[in-house]
Amino acid sequence: MNDNRHPITFIGLGPMGQAMVRTYLRNGNPITVWNRTASRADALVAEGAIRAATVRDALAATELVLLSLTDYQAMYDILGDAGEALSGRVVVNLSSDTPQRTREAADWLAARGAVLITGGVMAPAELVGKDGAYVFYSGPQEAMETHRPTLELIGRADYLGEDHALAQLFYQAQLDIFLTSLSAYMHATALVKSAGVSAQKFLPYAVDNFDTMSSFIVDAAREIDEGDYPGELANARMMGATADHIVGASGDAGIDLALPAAVKEHYDRAIAAGRGTQGWPSLFETIRKPA
Ligand SMILES: NC(=O)c1ccc[n+]([C@@H]2O[C@H](COP(=O)([O-])OP(=O)(O)OC[C@H]3O[C@@H](n4cnc5c(N)ncnc54)[C@H](OP(=O)(O)O)[C@@H]3O)[C@@H](O)[C@H]2O)c1
């Protein structure tokens, strides 16, 4: 199928599901929708979506079924009683959860005659279908290639391989960077605010820091893959002393210590393991295999 106006059943109409359904409606895809809270479909039905009265009706409408739910438990809650209505369906689950739960879901759906493609959406709802939006996918390649033209409409489709867990693994890894960085920003802002400085005044410096951060990880990725950490420029001992100063500054300011204490602990353990004169990327070894 190379037409991207494939009919779709869409289940899960939170902010993300609504944005996706609207993208497909604009493209002219026939869309059948179902949501636990039925009223969330009202506006979409007014815009051209077809409301399914039951989950079984929704599954009967099309071969391709997209799910956008809080987690994989919601999928079981919704599809648990669907029985044979799942047979022959390609279920693309765009919900967040752990990689292991996606593998279990693939088995669960296979036992009911359905194929699972897992997805991890790397865009906020307002950017769905726009430049820069992309989605990690994994699962059976044949099903993925069949439905790629349709899936590309919500964002670039980055297919990672047959293992269902891969899309979630990449998604969670990206969110790991995202959430931790946001907390680091909030913590740093609390630090300067403790001296009466506004968040706005600190902002350009934080932006500069975020903008240059990517240059640090290019060499780090190579060193991690090579398992070799030359430390001439910035070794773990020097960085660890700085981590200690951040904990001290945070304590003096009376703000939360959890995040800087966790970072300091990584350095402490690396130094205790004899990595003090190695480059800071050697922390990877400490994180990968906590003693
Ligand atoms: N929003 C974003 O910016 C964003 C960005 C990237 C990825 N994501 C991911 O996209 C997925 C959807 O996110 P969202 O923002 O649309 O909101 P959400 O609140 O996580 O998802 C809401 C949807 O899940 C349904 N749901 C939850 N638990 C259920 C259950 N036990 N039984 C039946 N339905 C259940 C809700 O039904 P009701 O309407 O009945 O409550 C609603 O349709 C999540 O996995 C999220 O991590 C979101």
14 Cα: distance to centroid of ligand 1 (angstroms): 5
In terms of Cβ atoms closer than 10 Å to its own Cβ (0-12, 13-18, 19+), residue 282 is buried
The HSE-up count of residue 258 (CA atoms within 13 Å, CB side) is: 4
Tokens of residue 2, six digits: 């190379």
Distance 69 CA to ligand 1 centre (A): 4
Assessment of whether the complete model's pTM goes beyond 0.75: yes
pLDDT tens digit sequence for 77-111:
999 999 899 999 999 999 999 999 999 999 999 99
Q: Whose CA is nearest to atom 41 of ligand 1?
A: 37
Whether residue 174 is contained in a domain is answered as no
| 175, part of any domain | no
Q: Is residue 184 part of a domain?
A: no
Please name the residue ranges forming H helices in 157-235: 165-193, 199-226
What is d(CA 240, CA 265) in angstroms, rounded to the nearest whole number? 9
Domain count, the chain: 2
In a domain, 187, yes or no: no
The residue among 20 and 4 whose pLDDT is bigger is 20
CATH number at residue 138: 3.40.50.720
Q: CA-CA distance, 56 to 76, in Å (whole number)?
A: 14
| Segment 38-62 mean pLDDT | 97
> Could you tell me if 199 and 262 lie in one domain?
yes
For ligand 1, mutation pick of 37, 55, 70 (most atoms within 8 Å of CB): 70
Is the CB of 95 within 6 Å of ligand 1? yes
- Domain limits for position 23: 8-161
Do residues 119 and 20 both lie within one domain?
yes
Does 2 have pLDDT greater than 60?
A: no
* Residue of the CA atom closest to atom 17 of ligand 1: 14
Is the CB of residue 209 below 6 angstroms from any atom belonging to ligand 1?
Answer: no
Residue 142: how many CB atoms within 10 A of its CB?
A: 10
Domain assignment present for 171: no
Task: Choose the residue to mutate in 69, 96, 102, 136 for probing ligand 1, maximizing ligand atoms within 8 Å of C-beta.
Answer: 69
Residue 276: pLDDT over 80:
yes
**Same domain, yes or no: 13 and 129:** yes
The owner of tokens 């493609």 is: 117
> Is the CB–ligand 1 distance for residue 55 below 6 Å?
no
Question: Distance from the CA of 210 to the center of ligand 1, in angstroms?
Answer: 29
Q: What is the DSSP letter of 128?
A: T
Spell out the alpha helix ranges (H) of 4-163. Answer: 15-27, 42-46, 55-61, 72-79, 99-110, 141-151
Q: Which residues on neighbouring strands pair with residue 91, listed in sequence order?
A: 65, 116
Which residue bears the tokens 């699972």? 116
- The Cα–Cα gap between 285 and 291 comes to 10
Looking at the structure, do residues 280 and 220 belong to the same domain, yes or no? yes
Residue 14 domain-assigned?
yes
Ligand 1: which atom is nearest the Cα of residue 69? 24
146 and 212 housed in the same domain: no
Cα 264 to Cα 157, 220, 234: the distances in Å are 38, 19, 16
Residues 233 and 155 in one domain: no
Ligand 1, atom 3, residue with closest C-alpha: 124
Residues 204 and 122 in one domain: no
Boundary-marking domain end, from 119, 141, 161? 161
Query: Is 50 in a helix, a strand, or coil?
Result: strand
Instruction: Examine the domain organization and report whether 201 and 149 are in the same domain.
Output: no
Q: Provide the CATH number for the domain around residue 248.
A: 1.10.1040.10
Confidence of residue 233 (pLDDT cuts 50, 70, 90): confident
Amino acid (1-letter code) at residue 13: L
To which residue do tokens 């700085």 refer?
242
Q: Indicate whether 118 and 232 sit together in one domain.
A: no
Within a domain: residue 89?
Answer: yes
167: confidence class by pLDDT, cuts 50, 70, 90: very high
Q: Name the 3-class secondary structure at 288.
A: helix
3-state secondary structure of 161: coil
Structural domain contains residue 177: no
- pLDDT at 134 > cutoff 70: yes
Question: Interior CA angle at 29 toward 27 and 31, to 5°?
Answer: 130
